[in-house]
């Protein structure tokens, strides 16, 4: 069991969040407005695939499901890298079971540039860290990464995609990723529930889907403490 990009980012926001994802996902409560935002982001990403013209998409699902088959996607990606496909979408990579799928991978004279698509009018630091994780996995997988871009949405339909070069910032996170990825991977396998006190991480940078669960635990704990004082 390794970490995906999403696993890593959620684990860095809160270790307990990652543990719950792996052991008690039934407790998730995703507000409708958040789900709508996620769906809109997926739609924007699908539209952005053609921003450089013809492309090959690597998505492969497990039979009878909509769950990506990571191993087959990574194998398919390797085949297209070997054949020199100019633009690869959802390019998948596995490194010691750690996984990422790059929105757009574009071949250059010296290697590959990659583009992370975000349905946002501006670049946030969370996006840069996200790209930093992908750069780590690609680099460890032997890909020569050139420039790194966050693709935000433009002001109108005539200019729908705005690539923003974040190369130095994203590559600067290489050591940061390496410092945490192995520890988070070990932690997510622990049998006992990871205990973290609720705090700012419950809402920053995103509201946690286990907010109600963790805060009910806190209220219960406080109630037990008051009973002991009586």
Radius of gyration of the chain (CA): 19
Q: Does 28 score more than 90 pLDDT?
A: yes
Q: Considering only CA atoms, which of 133, 123, 124 is closest in space to residue 173?
A: 133
Residues 148 and 168: beta-carbon distance below 8 Å? no
- 216 vs 183, which has greater pLDDT? 183
| 88 within domain boundaries | yes
CA distance linking residue 202 with residue 194, whole number of Å:
15
Give the model's pLDDT for residue 4: 97
Q: How far apart are CA 31 and CA 49, in angstroms?
A: 28
Q: Which residues contact 64 (CB under 8 A, 6 or more apart)?
A: none
Establish if 223 belongs to a structural domain: no
Asked if residue 213 is part of any domain, the answer here is no
| pLDDT, position 224 | 53
Mean pLDDT of 118-128: 95
Domain containing 83 — which CATH number? Answer: 3.90.320.10
* CA–CA gap between residue 81 and residue 140 (Å, rounded): 15
Measured CA to CA, the distance from residue 181 to residue 179 in angstroms comes to 6
Look at residue 226 and tell me if it is in a domain.
no
**Residue 124 falls inside a structural domain:** yes
In angstroms, the CA 46 to CA 43 distance is: 5
Strands (E), 32-129: 56-57, 87-95, 98-107, 112-117
227 belongs to a structural domain: no
* Residue with token string 């952005």: 48
CB 127 within 8 A of CB 136: no
Residue 228 inside a domain? The answer is no
Whether the CA torsion 17, 21, 25, 30 is positive or negative: it is positive
Instruction: Supply the range of the domain harboring residue 31.
Output: 5-197
Query: How many independent structural domains does the chain possess?
Result: 1
**pLDDT tens by residue, 125-156:** 999 999 999 999 999 999 999 999 999 998 88
Q: What is the pLDDT of residue 155?
A: 84
pTM beyond 0.95: the answer is no
Q: Please tell me the predicted confidence (pLDDT) of residue 230.
A: 45
pLDDT at residue 217 greater than cutoff 80: no
Torsion of CA 12, 138, 130, 59, to 10 degrees: -110
Mean pLDDT, all residues of the chain: 93
Please check the confidence at residue 221 and state whether its pLDDT lies above 80: no
Cβ distance 167 to 148 under 8 Å?
A: yes
Is 229 contained in some domain?
A: no
């Amino acid at each position: 069991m390794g970490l995906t990009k999403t696993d890593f980012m959620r684990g860095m926001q809160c270790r307990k969040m990652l543990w719950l994802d792996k052991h008690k996902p039934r407790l998730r409560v995703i507000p409708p407005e958040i789900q709508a935002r996620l769906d809109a982001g997926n739609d924007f990403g699908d539209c952005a695939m053609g921003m450089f013209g013809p492309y090959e998409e690597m998505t492969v699902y497990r039979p009878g499901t909509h769950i990506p088959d990571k191993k087959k996607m990574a194998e398919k990606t390797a085949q297209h890298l070997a054949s020199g496909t100019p633009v690869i979408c959802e390019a998948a990579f596995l490194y010691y079971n750690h996984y990422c799928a790059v929105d757009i991978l574009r071949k250059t004279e010296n290697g590959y540039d990659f583009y992370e698509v975000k349905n946002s009018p501006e670049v946030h630091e969370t996006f840069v860290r996200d790209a930093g994780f992908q750069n780590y996995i690609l680099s460890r997988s032997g890909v020569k990464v050139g420039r790194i871009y966050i693709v935000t949405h433009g002001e109108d339909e005539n200019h729908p995609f705005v690539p923003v070069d974040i190369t130095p910032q994203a590559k600067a996170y290489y050591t940061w990723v390496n410092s945490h990825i192995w520890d988070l991977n070990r932690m997510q396998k622990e049998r006992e529930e990871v205990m973290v006190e609720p705090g700012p991480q419950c809402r920053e940078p995103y509201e946690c889907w286990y907010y109600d669960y963790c805060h009910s635990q806190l209220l219960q704990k406080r109630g037990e403490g008051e009973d002991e004082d009586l």
